[in-house]
Structure 1
Amino acid sequence: MDEGASISDDPGMRNWGGELGFADVRTLGGRAGHTLLTAEIAVADSMWGPLAPWEKSAARAFAVGLTMDSAVICGKSAARLIGIEMPGWEDTVEVTYPGNRKPGGRRYWPEGVRFRYRNLDAGSIREHHGIRVTDSHRTVRDIAVLHSLADGVVALDSARRKWPKWSLGQWEAGMFRGPRFKGMATVRKMLELSVPDSGSPQESLARVRLIVARLPGVESIRTQVRFEAGGRSFPVDLLLNGWLALEFDGELKYEEGAFGRTTRETLLREREREVLLLNLGLQIRRVRAEDLHLDEAGWCPMFGIVLDALRGREEMHRQALG
C-alpha cells in the first residue's frame, strides 16, 4: 500500500436504497404509509420504523446522495455511509461541492441538507452505489475541522478499528495530502491523541474529554487493559490511575437476544465479571452516553463520576492511616 492511498476504496458501503426499497415519490399513488427522505425519495414506514436512529442518519444521507447532480456527501454523513462509527446521530446531511465551488445561500439548500465549503480535490472523492462520498482520510479530517477535536478523535479511532492494518503514518499522509488548509493544528492534535485499540465511540469520546479537561488527580489513562481473574481474562474500557475502571455500556448490549444471550444471562455475566474485578482491588464506574454531554461551561457528568471516585479513594486512605 502506498502512503496516503485511500482506505475507502474498500467497497464496503451499504446499499441503503436497495436494502430499504427506496421509491420515487412520483411513482407512488399516494404518500400514505411512506416517509419522505428527500423531495424525490420515499421509503415505506414498515422498513423505516424499525431502524435505529443512526441507521436512519445513514439512509437519509444515502438518499440525499442519490439526488445530488455534482455534490459530494462529506463530514459525519460520509462517516455514516463508509462505516466510521460516531456517537449519536444527525438529522442534517452534510454535503460539499468538488473543487473550489462555493455553495449558494441557505435559502437554496434542500430541506435537511447543509452545504459545506471544503475545497475538495477529485482524488478525495469515491463513488459507491451511485453515491459520491469523501474518502476515509478526508472524511476524518473534515470531521475534526468542521466539528471538534473530540469528534475527530472519535472518528479516527473508529477508522483505525475498522481498518487495523493501516498505520498512523498512513493516516497522517492521507490527511495532509495536497495544499495547506485551515485547521491543520487540530488535525495534528487529533493524530496525537488517537489510539488503535479504542473499543467504542463512547470510550474514545470519554478519553479525549478527560485528556482535554485535565481533571485534578487523574494521572494516567489507559485503554482496553486486561486483567486475569478466576481463570478468565477481562478487559476494561478505560483504566484511570491503575485502579479506576470506566465502563461504557450501550443499550443494545442488554437487549434480549444480543450476542445470542438473554438479558438475564448478560446481566449475570456482567455481575460475575464485576465481582472478580472488584476482588482485584479495582473500582468500577459505569458511564452512559448522556454522561458525556458537555454543558455550556464545558462540564459533563462523567467528570463528577471520576472526581467522586478519586475523593472516595483519598478518604479511604486517610481513614486507614488514622
Structure 2
Amino acid sequence: MTPEFLLQSLAPLHHLSNTDTRTLRQLHSGKLKRLSPNYAIDSDVFEQAPRHLQHWIDIVAKGRDRHEAVAIGRTAARLHGMWVVPLTDEVAEFALPSGHVPPLKNQAAGTRYRYAALTSDDITIINGARAVHRVRAFLDIARYHGFAEGLVAADWLLATGFTKQTLTTQLNLLGRVKGVAVARRCIAHAVAKSESPYESFARALLIEAGIGDLEVQKHVGSRTRVDLCVAGFLIIEVDGESKYDGATFGKSTDSVIVAERKREKWLQNLGYRVLRVSPADLHRHSASFAATVRSIVARAA
C-alpha cells in the first residue's frame, strides 16, 4: 500500500447530487468512507492501509477541503511524511493566515483551529493541501504538544539533512510566543542518528526523567549497532511488531527470534545488559519504562 495508491483511490464528491444513486448507496452502506465533505475512499482500501497512512490520507482529504486553512503541527508533519508519535488524541490541526480562529460551532468534528501568525514563506502545497513547512511543523509540535513529541520531529529533521542552526533560525523568527523554551530544548537534544520515531521517543522519555549518558546507535564491535545505550552498559532495543510478523522483512518469525537471541547473548557476554521494549510499551507504560532504566543504572552504580 503506497501513498500514491491512496491518492488515486480518493473519490471526489464535489458534484454529488441526488441523481447519483450509486455513490449515495455506497456512502450509505459504508462501501465508501467519507473522509471530508468533498472526499471519500473505498472502505476496504482504507482499512487495509497502515495506520500512519490512514492518518495521512484523512489529512490530505481534510486539507483539500479547506482552501484558506493551513495545516500546522502534527497535521502538517504527517503531510510531509515526518515522524509523529501523538501522546494525546489526534485531531487535524489548522490555522488561518488571517490569524482569526473560527468559532467552535463552525469547526468540523475532528479538527482544531489554532491561532498562528503565518506568512507566505511559511506555507507550501502538498498533494493539493496547504501546510506549513517542515521546520515550522516541528516548532509547533514542540510548542503545542511538548518535549517528547517535539524531539521525535526534530530528530527526523536532522536525520533528513536539516541542521540545528536552521531550526534555531526559524525558531528565532517566531519571536516571543508560548512554548519557545520547549522547542529550544528539543533542538539542543536532537540528534541525526536516530533511525525510528520510537527510538527518539524512548530517548525523550529518559531525558525527561533526568537520565543522562545516552548514546544513540552505538557501535558494538565492527558489525553491530544498538538503538540506545545508557551509562555505557544498558542497551535498549525498541522492537516494532512488524519485525516479528514474518512478512515485512522477508524472514520467518522463528528465524528473527533465534537471530535476536544469539545477538543478545553475544552482547551479554561482552558485559552489556539488554532491555527490549515495544512502541506499545513506551506508550502505555512510559513512567515504568523510565523507572526501570533508572533502577537498573542505580543498582549497577
Shared fold (TM-score greater than 0.5)? yes
Q: Which moved more, 1:172-181 or 1:241-250?
A: 172-181
Aligned twin of 1:98 = 97
Q: Which amino acid aligns with 1:307?
A: R
1:311: Cα distance to partner?
5.2
Aligned twin of 2:185 = 189
| 1:1-322 equivalences in 2 (<5 Å) | 14-15=3-4, 18-24=7-13, 26=16, 28-30=23-25, 31=27, 32=29, 33-87=31-85, 91-100=90-99, 102-161=100-159, 163-164=160-161, 166-177=162-173, 179-214=175-210, 218-228=211-221, 233-293=223-283, 300-310=287-297, 313=300
User: Could you report, residue by residue, the CA deviation over 1:183-214 in whole angstroms, capped at 9, with x for unpaired residues?
Assistant: 22222111111111112211112212211212
Q: Structure 1 residues 142 and 88, CA, compared in 2 at 3 Å: closer, same or farther? A: closer
Q: Which amino acid aligns with 1:205?
A: F
1:160: Cα distance to partner?
1.7
**Contact 1:293/1:300 (<8 A) preserved:** no
Q: Which amino acid aligns with 1:126?
A: T
Unaligned runs of 5+ in 2: none
1:15: Cα distance to partner?
5.0
Q: Which moved more, 1:149-158 or 1:203-212?
A: 203-212
1:125: Cα distance to partner?
0.3
Structure 2 Cα separation of the partners of residues 16 and 108 of structure 1: 32
Q: Which amino acid aligns with 1:309?
A: I
Q: Secondary structure, in 3 states, of the residue corresponding to 1:182?
A: coil
Structure 2 Cα separation of the partners of residues 287 and 24 of structure 1: 44
Q: How many residues align?
A: 290
Q: Structure 1 residues 221 and 199, CA, compared in 2 at 3 Å: closer, same or farther? A: same
User: Could you report, residue by residue, the CA deviation over 1:13-68 in whole angstroms, capped at 9, with x for unpaired residues?
Assistant: 95576243334272513212111211222111121111122211111110001101
**Contact 2:86/2:149 (<8 A) preserved:** no
Q: Secondary structure, in 3 states, of the residue corresponding to 2:36?
A: coil
**Contact 1:92/1:112 (<8 A) preserved:** yes
**Contact 2:125/2:131 (<8 A) preserved:** yes
Unaligned runs of 5+ in 1: 1-12, 315-322
**RMSD across aligned positions (CA):** 2.3
